[in-house]
Amino acid sequence: MRKKTILIQSNFCRALTGFGKNKKNILKHLYKTGKYKIVEAANGRLYDDPNLKNLPWDCYGTMKDKDSVSEEDQRSNGYGGLLIDKIVSDVRPDVFIGIEDIWAFNNIHHRPWFNKVNTMIWTTLDSLPILPDAIEYAPKIDHYYVWSNFAEKAFKEIGYDHIKTLRGSLDTQNFFRLSDDIRLDLRKRNNISEKDFIIGFVFRNQLRKSIPNLLDGFKKFKGKNPNSKLLLHTCWSEGWDIPRLLEEKQIDSQDILTTYFCDHCGSYEVRPFTSEDETCPYCGSKGFHTANVVKGVSEKQLNEIYNLMDVYCHPFTSGGQEIPVQEAKLTELITLVTDYSCGEDSCSEDSGGIPLGWNEYREPGTQFIKASTDPESIDQMLQGVYDMTKQERQDLGRKSRQWVTDNFSTEVVGKQLEDIIDEMPFLDEETNIDDLSYNECFPFPENMNNEDFVVCLYKNILNDRVDHNTPGYKKWVSDLNSHEASQSEIYKHFINVAKKQNKSKKTNFEDILGDKDEGKRVAVVIQGNDVDVILINSLMENLQKKHKKHNIYVFTEPSYFEYIEDNPYVYKCIPYSQSIKNPLILEGSGNHQGFFEAAYYPTATTRLLQCNIHNGI
Question: Which DSSP letter does residue 7 get?
Answer: E
pLDDT at 360: 97
More confident residue, 393 or 292: 393
pLDDT at 512: 65
Amino acid 109 reads H
Contact 167, 320 (CB under 8 A): no
pLDDT band at 379 (very low <50, low <70, confident <90, very high): very high
pLDDT at 32: 97
pLDDT band at 293 (very low <50, low <70, confident <90, very high): confident
pLDDT band at 318 (very low <50, low <70, confident <90, very high): very high
pLDDT at 139: 96
Q: How many CA atoms lie within 13 A of 343 on its CB side?
A: 25
Q: Is the confidence at residue 518, as pLDDT, over 70?
A: no
Q: Is the confidence at residue 506, as pLDDT, over 60?
A: no
Give the DSSP H or E segment for 25: helix 18-33
Strand blocks (E) in 47-158? 58-63, 95-98, 118-123, 143-146
Strand order in the sheet with 598-600: 572-575, 551-556, 521-525, 598-600
Number of Cβ within 10 Å of residue 569's Cβ equals: 16
Query: 380: Cβ–Cβ under 8 A, 6 or more apart, which residues?
Result: none
Express each pLDDT in 328-361 by its tens digit: 999 999 999 999 999 999 999 999 999 999 999 9
Report how far residue 118's alpha carbon sits from residue 116's, in angstroms, rounded to the nearest whole number. Answer: 6
pLDDT band at 304 (very low <50, low <70, confident <90, very high): very high
Express each pLDDT in 173-192 by its tens digit: 999 999 999 999 999 999 99
Q: How far is CA 63 from the centre of its chain?
A: 13
Contact 573, 561 (CB under 8 A): yes
Express each pLDDT in 431-477 by its tens digit: 999 888 899 989 999 999 999 999 999 999 999 999 999 999 999 99
Express each pLDDT in 230-244 by its tens digit: 999 999 999 999 999
- Orientation of helix 410-422 relative to helix 18-33, angle to 10°: 60
Express each pLDDT in 524-573 by its tens digit: 998 878 888 999 999 999 999 988 888 999 988 887 888 888 899 998 88
Q: Is 403 helix (H, G, I), strand (E, B) or coil?
A: helix
pLDDT band at 610 (very low <50, low <70, confident <90, very high): low
pLDDT at 393: 96
Express each pLDDT in 581-591 by its tens digit: 777 778 876 66
pLDDT at 612: 61
Report how far residue 245's alpha carbon sits from residue 369's, in angstroms, rounded to the nearest whole number. Answer: 25
Contact 25, 10 (CB under 8 A): no
Contact 222, 228 (CB under 8 A): yes
Express each pLDDT in 419-434 by its tens digit: 999 999 999 988 999 8
For residue 361, which of 160, 152, 212 has the smallest C-alpha distance? Answer: 212
Contact 72, 51 (CB under 8 A): no
Express each pLDDT in 190-236 by its tens digit: 999 999 999 999 999 999 999 999 999 999 999 999 999 999 999 99
More confident residue, 513 or 542: 542
Dmax (CA) for the chain in angstroms is 96
Q: Is 488 exposed, middle or buried, given 0-12, 13-18 or 19+ CB atoms closer than 10 A? A: exposed
Question: Which DSSP letter does residue 102 get?
Answer: G
Give the DSSP H or E segment for 76: helix 74-78
More confident residue, 437 or 364: 364
Identify any residues that bridge with 5 across adjacent strands, giving them in sequence order.
Answer: 37
pLDDT at 554: 92
pLDDT at 16: 84
Report how far residue 476's alpha carbon sits from residue 457's, in angstroms, rounded to the nearest whole number. Answer: 11
Express each pLDDT in 253-283 by its tens digit: 999 999 999 999 999 999 999 999 899 999 9
Q: Is the confidence at residue 94, as pLDDT, over 80?
A: yes
Report how far residue 125's alpha carbon sits from residue 320's, in angstroms, rounded to the nearest whole number. Answer: 5
pLDDT at 566: 87
pLDDT band at 517 (very low <50, low <70, confident <90, very high): low
pLDDT at 528: 77
Contact 12, 20 (CB under 8 A): yes
Report how far residue 317's alpha carbon sits from residue 209's, in angstroms, rounded to the nearest whole number. Answer: 6
pLDDT band at 615 (very low <50, low <70, confident <90, very high): low
pLDDT band at 511 (very low <50, low <70, confident <90, very high): low
Contact 594, 521 (CB under 8 A): no
Q: Is 412 helix (H, G, I), strand (E, B) or coil?
A: helix
Q: What is the mean pLDDT of the chain?
A: 92
Number of Cβ within 10 Å of residue 583's Cβ equals: 24
Q: Which of 5-14, 91-100, 211-220, 600-609 has the lowest mean pLDDT?
A: 600-609
Stretch 15-25: mean pLDDT, rounded? Answer: 92
Contact 102, 163 (CB under 8 A): no
pLDDT at 503: 75
